[in-house]
Structure 1
């Protein structure tokens, strides 16, 4: 990476602004464009240093703004993550922890992003995948629908058309692409919904296996049990190394497909800015990642870095062109406060997140997970990480605790939780997760092990 852009975790260059300039006056509020992809891991982007795919339009966004390297989804599953992105709350607080999406009372999650911006005078439009729980945007969600889900190329054209039309008010436009989610279908021998992929090249020309391809020693048992029990979702049990290389080739091809459609949207945005003279905040992220072959894992759910860490790019007024930040970002809780901050809109009260421009960065963040498998009661997990370490705890199963030094072991291959020399550090993270659960009402609290105390340290 380009070290001159690296940001000390104690001091983020995106915060170096006159505090009186942090909130635009209503008369000059920016337009806002939010682009969501589906199932894109953070490293599936040329700007992230990946030489095995070409993403010129994502890279251009990164060059125009700030890329946050330590951005994490709220839960590696579509509906819970999207509910969090659109409300600024964690899935467990919403009662939305599976793809059924609605809480037990059947009410839509609140506060919804579209309603917040509509009440502030924005023209709010949404195109593409919604999945809360309807695949397409239903009425009365604060947005008007410009295009249904499933047709990414059509969505890109519809977004460009929307951008070409003059309007007296600033806009909030959410463009929610389906890809690279099609890798799920591809792994089952089906065509992605956006169309078939070309035949893969010879294996020698496919991307290599990641360094952390093999399962690590002292790996948690619960994710592997789920993987074996859900053969339709994880059809990889008999795969060999060449199969995984073809998987990575297909996955990157789907990322390139969505990048091409992003290019159509950004061309429309450039034309809009040319004739309107307005500035536009652009935020690019994904609902969650994909295993991409790391640890022999496809899909999401598991709390591996590849499944939970996502791209997060912010460009436009308030961002630092070419900036790269290691500030921790929890995209679900933090997206809504960030957009409100950049647009000069008051943040709804009581939300746990913070803008990426807040003077004090996060010290920790939490990611939740849950499997919806028959016979798998309490198939839950949590991870909490700080600037260096990551602690993972599953509700049950052998070796349910994991502790990693992400600075020295970014591939999560050495589980420090089984080494008594790290007992004090393990106890610290148990305490951090227990405190988070107690403060947020997270029912996972009963599964967090009590600190072992000095004897273990």
Structure 2
């Protein structure tokens, strides 16, 4: 134990891990005993949301405490300019030893390499599941084994060799369970003898909504390819049977990848216990965004719909967080950076747009805490044909505006579509199957939500 008694921060983030594939969130399809330990010994956030449900932009928001129009990472085509202020830079300057191991996905070389980290070892772009190469402090090195194990091995090695007189901030970023969902040998035969239940909205026909839902190219039956399903469907199946077969192939590999993440989180938790570090270490597990697990007949993310918008967020800090507690107040990925700084005893810079979650972790909800959030997906039509949109989610309603234009953003497709609105009453329609935007009974609600939306848009300084 060093002379600096400030808490260590272990931030574990996976890629595309939906909250509804964690047993502590009530999963119907898998068990995550080690992740559940964090929730049981700490707090589960039930309403944590991302401000742009796609990889690089969410990561940039977590590092900067800024929305994407201000941190410069609106789409997957944008890198994070490391000359700007980030939370690791601030922690490093204030006496923390900082490390980043695993997925980066924010550019390489020049101003795009990680900054603010005493040590970094990252996958190139998405990286490989098996025998990956990684950039260790800029030098490409090959590794043998499975990526989730390797990232954990490297994290444990860094923890073991760190300067014990300083508190640490370690970002352990897993590639899994990102597409194409390649499990390791240990978990390759899990779920072999069972069928995974299909979600409630698996047979969604995309009626009663804007055109965007039907236009998206991320359907289980039509858009999953042989690389995703590890082969072609058997001959002679009906279209319905093909859809069911593809879902089972997809979801089982996805869950097998998560089982490895869960095992490896357990290794990190055990290490903290063995070294007597658990009491003074804030452990956070999250994902960069949610994911469709057959919900609406889809895989992938991007939409402002619940399964994509919602992030898992569980946190343990024995000194301050009551075991087994649940927080239903709204938290956003833009709040993570201020939270780290608050716990480190560092003033939160005025330019950061989020708020510290520390009061919420203590079980308190400050007066005037956010009850609505602003979302914007910029990457028009790329990869999965999702229309660019922005919107507001309150505790009861969700209003989405598909402005459906590229607006010159990187890697967006310049093919404007007809703008449309959607409104969902989440109390009456939790699965978001029926937009009530044109229902006269909701006219006042629409008017009020539009006012709130444009107030929020201005508040976060999104003027486009």
Give secondary structure in 2 for the equivalent of 1:327: coil
Number of aligned residues? 405
Equivalent residue, structure 2, for 1:417? 437
Asked if 1:41 is matched to 2:37, the reply is: no
- Aligned pair in 2 of structure 1 residues 174, 375: CA closer, same or farther (>3 Å)? closer
> Displacement of 1:31 after TM fit?
0.8
| Partner Cα distance (1:349, 1:321) in 2 | 32
Asked if 1:268 is matched to 2:271, the reply is: yes
What is the root-mean-square deviation of aligned Cα atoms in Å? Answer: 3.2
Equivalent residue, structure 1, for 2:260? 257
| Partner Cα distance (1:378, 1:199) in 2 | 34
| Partner Cα distance (1:371, 1:232) in 2 | 22
| Partner Cα distance (1:81, 1:375) in 2 | 17
Cα deviations by residue, 1:152-172 (Å, 9 ceiling, x for unpaired): 201111212222345111110
> Displacement of 1:249 after TM fit?
2.3
> Displacement of 1:432 after TM fit?
1.4
Equivalent residue, structure 1, for 2:46? 69
Equivalent residue, structure 2, for 1:345? 346
- Aligned pair in 2 of structure 1 residues 196, 218: CA closer, same or farther (>3 Å)? farther
Q: Is the 8 A contact 1:161 1:268 kept in 2?
A: no
Give secondary structure in 2 for the equivalent of 1:403: strand
- Aligned pair in 2 of structure 1 residues 148, 67: CA closer, same or farther (>3 Å)? same
Cα deviations by residue, 1:160-190 (Å, 9 ceiling, x for unpaired): 2222345111110110011111xx214xxxx
Q: Which runs of 5 or more residues in structure 1 are unaligned?
A: 1-25, 445-457
Equivalent residue, structure 2, for 1:321? 323
| Partner Cα distance (1:398, 1:200) in 2 | 45
What TM-score, normalized to structure 1?
0.80
Equivalent residue, structure 1, for 2:136? none
| Partner Cα distance (2:111, 2:32) in 1 | 28
> Displacement of 1:337 after TM fit?
0.9
- Aligned pair in 2 of structure 1 residues 56, 244: CA closer, same or farther (>3 Å)? same
Asked if 1:96 is matched to 2:91, the reply is: no
What TM-score, normalized to structure 2?
0.79
- Aligned pair in 2 of structure 1 residues 324, 355: CA closer, same or farther (>3 Å)? same
Give secondary structure in 1 for the equivalent of 2:84: coil
> Displacement of 1:114 after TM fit?
0.9
Asked if 1:362 is matched to 2:370, the reply is: yes
Cα deviations by residue, 1:194-220 (Å, 9 ceiling, x for unpaired): 6796367568x2221111223343223
Equivalent residue, structure 1, for 2:160? 164
Q: Is the 8 A contact 1:29 1:343 kept in 2?
A: yes
Equivalent residue, structure 2, for 1:220? 210
- Aligned pair in 2 of structure 1 residues 161, 228: CA closer, same or farther (>3 Å)? closer
| Partner Cα distance (2:391, 2:213) in 1 | 14
Equivalent residue, structure 2, for 1:185? 180
| Partner Cα distance (1:45, 1:277) in 2 | 22
Q: Which runs of 5 or more residues in structure 2 are unaligned?
A: 128-146, 229-238, 360-365, 405-416
Q: Is the 8 A contact 2:97 2:167 kept in 1?
A: yes
- Aligned pair in 2 of structure 1 residues 170, 288: CA closer, same or farther (>3 Å)? same
| Partner Cα distance (1:208, 1:378) in 2 | 27
- Aligned pair in 2 of structure 1 residues 121, 230: CA closer, same or farther (>3 Å)? same
Residues 54-453 of structure 1 mapped to structure 2, 5 A cutoff: 54-102=31-79, 107-108=81-82, 110-134=84-108, 141-149=115-123, 150=127, 151-165=147-161, 167-181=164-178, 184-186=179-181, 191=182, 198=188, 201=191, 205-215=194-204, 216-227=206-217, 235=225, 239-272=242-275, 274=276, 279-316=280-317, 317-331=319-333, 333-358=334-359, 359-360=366-367, 361-373=369-381, 379-396=387-404, 397=417, 400-444=420-464
